[in-house]
Structures are given as C-alpha cells and as structure tokens.
Amino acid sequence: MSPKTLYDKIWDAHVAHEADDGTCLLYIDRHLVHEVTSPQAFEGLRMAGRPVRAPEKTIAVPDHNVPTTPGREDPANMTEDSAIQVAALDKNAKEFGIHYYPVTDIRQGIVHIVGPEQGWTLPGMTVVCGDSHTATHGAFGALAHGIGTSEVEHVLATQTLIQKKSKNMKVEITGKLRPGVTAKDITLAVIGATGTAGGTGYVIEYCGEAIRDLSMEGRMTVCNMAIEGGARAGLIAPDEKTFEYVNGRPHAPKGAQWEAALNWWKTLYTDEGAHFDQVITLKGEEIEPVVTWGTSPEDVLPITATVPAPEDFEGGKVEAARRSIDYMGLTPGQKLSDIAIDTVFIGSCTNGRIEDLRAAAEIVKGKKIKDGMRAMVVPGSGLVRLQAEEEGLADVFKEAGFEWRLAGCSMCLAMNPDQLSEGERCASTSNRNFEGRQGYKGRTHLVSPAMAAAAAITGKLTDVRELM
C-alpha cells in the first residue's frame, strides 16, 4: 500500500460513496450547530418534511450573539433579532431531538470550545459546523471544517457532505519557541508567510517539534486559524497529549471501547514517504511575538517592526495596504510598539481556553490596567470560567481592572452588545481584523493573550518580553 498522509487516512475512512468524477459523499461523525447559521437550514428541513438523520451526532449551542453580562437568559436583555435566533435554536433543538446546551447551562460556551471540552470531538473523526473556525477541532487529528447553511441542511438531512478531496500541505515548525512566543504567534506567522489565500485548496498538517511541544489548547489555537490561511482544514496528528486530554471527558469512549478507539487512533499519523503537494517550514526559534497592523490576518509583523508603506507591496496588495493603513489610522514608518490601544479583548475560540487565561493572568498579576483602558476577559465556556475562578485567575483580572464576563463569542465578531465604537482601537486575541469586524470602523490588532495583557497594562501595543 502506498504511504498515506493523516488527511488521506481520515478521508478514506469516511467516504460513503464515490462518483466516477471523484465527487464523494463524506460521512460526518459530528455536526455542531449554533444559532446564526442554522435557522434557514432547519426551516428547509421542515419545508421538505425531512428529519435530522443522526440527531445523536448533532450538538447545538447558542454562542454568537448571546450577551456576556448577567441576566442574559432573559430575552428582554437581548436585542429582538438575537432573541429570535436563540429562540429558534431552542425550538429546533427540541423539535429535532438533538443535544443542546442552553445559555443557562454551565457547559454552554463557544461551540468550538464546548465540542472538545465535552469529548464530542475525538481523533480521526469528521467534524463540521456552520462556522469557519471549525478548523479548531483539527488539533485532535479530526478532519474539521466550516460549511455554509445549505451544507448544514445537507448534513442534517443526510449526515454526509458532497466533497472533493483537497491537496495535502505540510507546515513544519522546527525547534523550540523562545520565551514570550506562543501558539498564536505561530499561527499568525504562518499566515504572514503564506498569505490568506496560500492554503486555498489544501488541508494543512502542522508538525515539527514546536507543534509537538504545544499543549492541546495551543494546538487548537494553531488549527483554529488554518482557515485564515485559506485552508479547508488544519490537522495535528494525535499523540499521548491528545489521548490524555480526551480521556474521561463526558462523551469520550469508556472501557473496552476506549481501548479499541486508542488502537485506531494510534494509527493516525502520516506514513513515512507520504506525498505532500506543498511543504512550508518555519524555524521555531525565529518566530517573534507578532501583531497585525492591517485589516487582513496576513498583515502580520513582529512587534519590533514598523508600519509598512503601500509601496512595499506588489500588485493588488498595494491598494489593499493603502486602504488598510488609512482605515487603521496609522502612518508608514511608525513603530508598532508606539500604537496606543483603547480596548483589550481576551477571549474567542482562538484564545478563550484556560491556558490562554493563565498566560494573560501571569502578565497582569499584581498590576493595574492603564487608566481609561477598557479591558475584558470573556471565557470560552462556562466551565473555563468556573475553572479560572477556582484557580484565582478571575480575581487577578478583576483586581487589575478587567471586566470578567460570561461565556460567548462576544467581541470576536461583535454580534452581541460587545462592540468597538468608531475609531476605537483594540488589541484582541480573536482571529479576524477585517474592517468593521469588531464594530463599525473599529480597529483591530490581533495578538496572543500574553501580548493582549501587556497592552492592557501599558496602554499601547507592547513587546510582552519587556514585562516578563
């Protein structure tokens, strides 16, 4: 048998039908659902009189537009249209008999944090969700990607997806990271190197010593942003860390089934000599703490750099850079570490897990946020919030002047009341710095949790290594 990549193996194990032209029906093991991209899909089922084919494999949680302040279970505290979407999810979950975590449930949170936390996400699975950051689950060696609403309906009705196989890309991060450099810096540095379209048509497998050294939380951060590099999915081969993370979770296999699962999971790696259509290698030692300066995630530079000039680019990017620099209110040549920040947001499915909060708290401990700074921590799930409270992290944040919120997507996409106002500048641990993403004319700089914490203290983008 010819050697296979990890992606090949998972793909092959899930093809339910293959047409002559190579179009496949890929069987889906887990379907995650949230309130924004699903109402039209359920409506479609209802109109066609179709049931959900595998309700036991379908999990729903409201996260995108729920408020993160107390009293949010009362629809009166939501905008009318948010309340309509959440109510629709409530109704659809009940009517179609799928697993559901309402806002009142301590396990509620961002869909991509809840899935792994509850053991729904397991190695070797296919996982989809009507949300592009489904790539997060690739950290477990699961083939996970975002889909549109029509595809949500397709998966609900048939438990399959019409797919053609992507190409294989290997992204290797060799060696060790230096202090102050995190998983977020890796994933941003990769996008900086490939561009936001560099991964289009590929599934990426991340490997190398620096990836192996990451915790599961860190690996989820890396895979989360595979989509920002344009890839369909990101994958990391499961290892002992993965198995240890999964073991004992509510929906993970137990007893003899655990043993059987483990046996299969241990075969999930790329064979020696397997073919990759593209290979990218970065040296771990050379990655620095990075920030974005523009309005595309590929606009990445080390914090020690300066704002570029449009003329530094080529082709269509010249105009895009000019527009970005103007939108962001920056001047070419300005030092990135001189950019003053109004708001700090720590949270999202990229960086809303316990390890992220620990890393931020480590920097914040015993200090106060800069006068006039708005800073908030939004844990990725109710359980992350609880754990952070038990570990004393919540107190560290509160004493420093941070707001301590309930779980949800919050200012990552600002569909709930957490938004930037016009011209407000934010250091954010989320994943997108698009125009208007965090609020109309809001300005976003993407950073790691430690870098966000540093900015909250000093009031400007800051090299976290100066505070360590």
Partner 1 sequence: MDKFTKLTGIAAPMPLVNIDTDMIIPKVFLKTIKRSGLGVNLFDEMRYDREGNEIEDFVLNKPAYRNAEILVAGDNFGCGSSREHAPWAIKDFGIKCVISTSFADIFYNNCFKNGILPIVLPQEDVDKLMDDANRGANATVTVDLENQTITGPDGGEISFEVDAFRKHCLLNGLDDIGLTMEKSTSIDAFEETAAQARPWV
b/e map 58-96, b = 16+ CB within 10 Å: bbbbbbbbbbbeeebeeeeebeeebbebbebbbebbeeb
Q: Which among partner 1, ligand SF4, none contacts residue 21 (Cβ within 5 to 8 A by kind)?
A: partner 1
Range in contact with partner 1 (rule: CB under 8 A) among 22-30, 281-289, 329-337, 344-352: 22-30
Contact pattern for partner 1 over residues 215 through 254, marking x by CB under 8 A? ---------------xxx--------------------x-
Q: Does residue 349 have a known ligand-binding role?
A: yes
Q: Please tell me the distance from the alpha carbon of residue 341 to that of residue 337, in angstroms, as a whole number.
A: 10
Establish if 162 lies at the interface with partner 1 (CB under 8 A): yes
DSSP for residue 335: B
Among residues 112, 353, 370, 425, the one that binds ligand SF4 under rule CB under 6 A: 112
Token digits for 69?
């302040």
Among 57, 133, 232, 353, interactor with ligand SF4 by CB under 6 A: 133
The least distance separating ligand SF4 from the CB of residue 24, rounded to whole angstroms, comes to 27
What are the C-alpha distances in Å from 262 to residues 92, 216, 265, 284? 35, 17, 5, 30
Taking the least distance from each CB to ligand SF4, the nearer of 274 and 349 is 349
Spatial CB neighbours of 413, under 8 Å, sequence gap ≥ 6: 64, 430, 432, 437, 438
- The C-alpha atoms of residue 450 and residue 221 are separated, in whole angstroms, by 14
Residue that has been written with the tokens 């302040």 in this structure: 69
Q: Where are the beta strands (DSSP E) in 69-201?
A: 99-100, 126-129, 143-146, 160-163, 167-174
Q: How far is the CB of 154 from partner 1 (least distance, A)?
A: 5
DSSP line for 287-327: ---EEE-SSSTT-EEETTSB---GGGS-THHHHHHHHHHHH
Of 19, 279, 340, 468, which lies in the binding site for partner 1, with binding defined by CB under 8 A? 19
Minimum distance from residue 102 beta carbon to ligand SF4 (Å): 17
Beta bridge partners of 426: 343, 444
Rule CB under 8 A: say whether 159 interacts with partner 1.
yes
Q: How far is the CB of 206 from partner 1 (least distance, A)?
A: 18
Q: Decide if 417 contacts 67 (C-beta within 8 A).
A: yes
Region near ligand SF4 per CB under 6 A, out of 182-190, 257-265, 382-390, 407-415: 407-415
Of residues 258 through 297, those in contact with partner 1 by CB under 8 A are 258, 260-261, 264, 296
**216-224 helix and 354-364 helix, angle to the nearest 10 degrees:** 100
Looking at the Cβ atoms of 72 and 385, the one nearer to partner 1 is 72
**Binding partner of 230, given ligand SF4, partner 1, none, CB within 5-8 angstroms per partner class:** partner 1
409 is in an annotated binding site: yes
Q: How many residues does the chain have?
A: 468
On whether the CB atoms of residues 140 and 6 are closer than 8 A, the answer is no
Q: How far is the CB of 175 from partner 1 (least distance, A)?
A: 31
Binding test (CB under 8 A) with partner 1, winner from 305, 320, 386, 467: 320
The one among 61, 407, 412, 446 contacting ligand SF4 by CB under 6 A: 412
Of 29, 172, 288, 356, which one interacts with partner 1 (CB under 8 A)? Answer: 29
User: In whole angstroms, what is the distance from residue 253 CA to residue 38 CA?
Assistant: 28
The residue among 280 and 452 lying less far from ligand SF4, judged by its C-beta, is 452
List the interface residues with partner 1, window 366-405 (CB under 8 A).
none
Count of other CB atoms within 10 angstroms of residue 268: 20
Residue 129 annotated in ligand binding: no
Q: What is the Cα–Cα distance from 275 to 167, expressed in whole angstroms?
A: 10
Q: Decide which of partner 1, ligand SF4, none touches 343; Cβ closer than 5 to 8 Å per partner kind.
A: none
The SS3 of residue 407 is coil
Q: Which of 10, 41, 59, 110 touches ligand SF4 by CB under 6 A? A: 110
Site for partner 1 in 325-364 (CB under 8 A): none
Kindly list the residues in this chain that would bind ligand SF4 in the complex (CB under 6 A).
63-64, 110, 112, 131, 133, 348-349, 409, 412-413, 430-431
Q: Would you list which residues are annotated within the binding site for [4Fe-4S] cluster?
A: 349, 409, 412
